[in-house]
Amino acid sequence: MKKLLSRAWAEIHLDRLKNNLDELKRINDNSQTEIMCVVKADAYGHGDKHIAPFLESQGIKYFAVSNIIEAQTLRKCGIKSDILILGHTPPDYAGELAKYDIIQAIVGEEYAAKLSEEAKKCGCIVRTHAAVDTGMGRIGVSADDAQACANALARMYRLEGIALEGMFTHFAVADSTDDHNIAYTESQKSKFFSAYDCLWEMGITLKHRHCLNSAGGVLHYDSRSTLVRYGILLYGLMPDNSLDLPVSLMPVMDLKAAVSYVKTLDKGDFVGYGRTYCADRKITAATIPIGYADGYARALSNNGYVLINGCKAPIIGRVCMDQIVVDTSGIPDVCEGTVVTLIGKDGNEAITADMLAQLYGTIGYEVVCGISKRVPRIYYGADGVIIPE
């Protein structure tokens, strides 16, 4: 344990994850809509090999990932639930998709035809959901003409080698409370369900039709959506930090490090590359062994602070690849080995990934996804600490 925690580490709190899941279940307490947990990008940097099994133990039956490697990882760590790949998989992987019982997103008719041909060559059936473009502009069959969209889905439905089980779309601005954006989201919903209604009138019924992302599930819930795809909210972060949502969420990840060195800087002393910080008085400073190679952004240079012994310690100088320096003047009992909180709570103070994101103009998603693999994850659950092998 001491060796593992001697530099920098991320703490993942499964009890907080359970709190967030319970909160999301509470606001969508409707038997017609089930939760699909989005665990792409290594569960947003939290570690899919631990997060997904825990969520499955809480009754989750549906997961979404970005690619086939992520899907295979879930299967190999014992996940039995349905797994939907939201992104692209080359059609010649049809056999692998069938082998691992993975649902593949179909991005269009041409792709569907190629996947069908490869599946027939393998003698297998690939489960699929068709992407419908209602205004996101990335992938999917256009739903601007509902009947034309339904006709395209019907042609996919009849292809050999693939089983079309569902259709989905993605909202572009569901996390906005601007009137124009609310209207846009409602327009996306209308296009999506109009296309489904046309398909139903053609005698084709799909098991799943889903349009709700994290913000959509909370702010634009619609019982016609059989699934709600919860991603960032699961991890206790916001799609938009300005939103006031009717849920009490807790950040699942804390980021911590240990002081490696403490020294005194005299007035006029410089810190870091480029000499961007010059002490204007005699100060005490601490070096912390974490940097942009760990996912702690260089944009935080001379910007923001960390928490030490319940106090704010401003970052001075540039964030380096492996180290930062902070001003610890007036903070008691700082020495080598003192724990530093970069994301999380310490006493009455707190730093969230969303707060860091605001400091350098990004979103909380990027902050947690960016915590690199060289930062070990320590998992806290009801039974104590779990250390990944």
Quote the DSSP letter at residue 212: B
Q: Looking at this protein, which amino acid is placed at residue 325?
A: V
* DSSP-derived 3-state class of residue 64: strand
Q: Which residue of the set 99, 207, 263, 273 is catalytic?
A: 273
Q: Which residue of the set 18, 40, 189, 256 is catalytic?
A: 40
CA gap 300, 355 in Å, rounded: 12
Q: Determine whether 273 is an active site residue.
A: yes
CA gap 55, 57 in Å, rounded: 5
User: CA 134, 39, 156: angle at the middle one, nearest 5?
Assistant: 40
Hey, what are 210's tokens?
Answer: 């889903």
Q: Which of 295, 296, 299, 301 is nearest to 273 (CA)?
A: 301
Hey, what are 343's tokens?
Answer: 């994301």
Beta strands in 266-376 (DSSP E): 270-271, 277-278, 283-288, 305-308, 311-316, 324-327, 339-346, 349-351
Element (H, E) at 263: strand 261-265
How many other CB atoms are found less than 10 A from the CB of residue 137?
9
Quote the DSSP letter at residue 134: S
CA gap 38, 213 in Å, rounded: 9
**DSSP bridge partners of 165:** none
Q: Looking at this protein, which amino acid is placed at residue 340?
A: V
Q: Determine whether 256 is an active site residue.
A: no
DSSP annotation string for 137-202 = -SSSEE-SSHHHHHHHHHHHHT-TTEEEEEEE---SSTT---HHHHHHHHHHHHHHHHHHHHHHHT
CA gap 21, 235 in Å, rounded: 9
The residues carrying an active-site annotation are 40, 273
